Structure 1
Amino acid sequence: MLGLMQDWPLTVDKILDHAKNWHPHREVVTRSVEGPIVRTTYAEIFARAKRVSKVLLDWDVKVGDRIATLAWNTARHIEAWYGIMGIGAVCHTLN
């Protein structure tokens, strides 16, 4: 039986797709590990996450493979997180 709300699975990559489609220029502000404030947008995060996904696929990462990250909560880390999850791999954050 199909659900009554949607006919596609609600996966985390859909969250970033929504942000890119509906809020592409919305600013995301984080602080880098080095200290300065970093300003980016959901469209930029989406593009960089897709590049992470492509690199992981080039490295032969498959659906269900586990990848650990050790990083601060920065824009770069969220790009890695979405890039990993976007190809169906499991992101295990060690921080």
Structure 2
Amino acid sequence: MVLAAERELLEETGYTGQGRLIGTMMPNPAIQTNRCYTVLIEETVNTGQDSPDDFEEIETILLSSEEVKHAIRCGEMQNALHITSLYQYELQL
């Protein structure tokens, strides 16, 4: 999982770094058995070598912790798995 997250970060954003697993969750255990893993990658370096798939349009936006909280409060960030991953990060602090 950690290696896959590191690989995806590089592919999607051009950033690289060393990750560690900080959490796992079951998105909908009532009807599914899949898991979602949260990998924290700190001290990243922008290599400028992103390589998204042809059909992907990706824009990397860097936000401060306060900007992320604002995005959640005002509804700009609504994905429950993303918000839960951020909470898992907060628990690490």
TM-score norm. by structure 2 comes to 0.29
Q: Report which of the two has the higher share of helix.
A: 1
